[in-house]
Amino acid sequence: METVPFWFACAGLLAFLVSVTLRTMMWLRMPIHVRWELYPVAHEGKRASYGGSYLEESEWWKKPREFSIWGEIRVMVPEILFLVALREHNRKLWYRSFPFHFGLYLITAGTVLMGGFALMGSQWESAEGFAGVLRMGIIVFGLAGLVLGLLGAAGLLHRRMTAPELKDFSAPADLFNLAVFVAVFSVALSGIVLLGVVEFFASLTGLIGQIVKLPFGHAEAQVPGIVGLSVVLMSLLLAYIPLTHMSHFIGKYFAYHSVRWNDAPNLKGSKQEKVIQEALGQPVSWSASHIAGDGKKNWVDVATTMPGEIKDR
C-alpha cells in the first residue's frame, strides 16, 4: 500500500499523455474551419504592425509569402503566460483567472525541477551549487503555485456562482471542476502546514524521482500519508483534465493557427484547394428550412441551389 501514490502518479501521467495525444489527433483530422479574416495576423512580419497582409501586394500570388515565426511567438507567449486578451476585455475575470493559470504553470515548472533534481542524483539534505538552486526553485515554485492556484480557483468559483453575467455560461461541470481544484490544492497546502514546506517537497521530490528513474530501476517510493493523498488526488486530476473542456490548453493552438491566423491562399492545385474541396464534400444535416440538409446533400449542393429548390427536391 505504501507505493499506491507512486502507481497513481504513473497512471495519471500516462492517462494524461494518451488523452492529450488522442485529443490533438482529433483536432488535426477535423475539416478546415471557417477563417476569421481578421487582421493583424501575427506571422505577417512587418505588416502585422499596421494590420496589413500579403493581399495588399499587386499580383501577390506570384510572390513568395513572408512568414515570421518570431511574430507568432511574440503574441503567443504573453497570451499563454499572462492571458493578455482576457486582461484587455474582462479585467474582473482576469484578476481570478490569471493567478489560477499562472499557479498551474508554476506547479508544472516545480515538477519539472523535481525530475531534474532526481536525475542529478543529489541528496535533498546536502544539495549544494546548482542542485541547491534547483531545490530552492522546487520549494518556491511549488508553494507559490499551490497558493496562487487555490486563490485563483476559489475566486473563479465564487465569481461564477455570483456574477449575473456569467450565469448562462456556468454549467454545473464548470463549478464542479473548479471545486475539485480548490479541494486538491487545499489538501496539498494542508500537507505543507502539517509537515513543513521542506519535508513536504522533499518527500514529493523523492517520489517524482522514482517516476523519472522507473525505466532504469524499480519503485521504492514511500511518502507520508498526507503527501500520498495529495499525490493521488493530483494524479486523478491530471488524468481528468484532458477529458473535459479544460483541454482548451490544446485547443488554443488550433484556435489561433487554424482559425485566427490561417491566411493560406487558395491557389489552383494547392494543398489548401484540396482541403477546401474535401470540406465542400461534407454532407449537411442542418434542419433549418433554408438549408434543408438531409444528410445526403453536401455543401456544394446547398451553395449552388436556391432554398426553395433544395426544399422541393
pLDDT digits (tens, 9 = 90+) for 277-306: 988 998 988 878 777 777 888 888 888 877
CA distances to 105, 143, 272 from 179, in Å: 19, 20, 44
What the block records as the C-alpha cell of 237 is 486530476
Q: Which of 79, 59, 72, 44 shows the shortest CA–CA distance to 263? A: 44
Measure the CA–CA gap between 84 and 1, rounded to whole angstroms.
45
Looking at residue 307, what is its pLDDT?
Answer: 64
Measure the CA–CA gap between 19 and 260, rounded to whole angstroms.
25
Looking at residue 121, what is its pLDDT?
Answer: 85
User: Half-sphere exposure of 195 toward its Cβ, with a 13 Å CA cutoff?
Assistant: 21
Number of H helices and number of E strands within the chain? 12, 0
Q: What is the DSSP-derived secondary structure letter of residue 269?
A: T
What the block records as the C-alpha cell of 140 is 518556491
Looking at the chain, the domain(s) classified CATH 1.20.950.20 span: 4-33+83-243
Measure the CA–CA gap between 103 and 27, rounded to whole angstroms.
27
Question: Does residue 144 contact residue 90 with C-beta atoms inside 8 Å?
Answer: no
Looking at residue 248, what is its pLDDT?
Answer: 87
CB burial of residue 268 (10 Å; 0-12, 13-18, 19+): exposed
Measure the CA–CA gap between 48 and 130, rounded to whole angstroms.
41
What the block records as the C-alpha cell of 231 is 499525490
What's the fold here for domain 4-33+83-243?
Answer: Fumarate Reductase Cytochrome B subunit (1.20.950)
Question: Does residue 189 contact residue 146 with C-beta atoms inside 8 Å?
Answer: yes
Q: Which residues of the chain have a pLDDT value below 70? A: 1-2, 215-221, 307-313
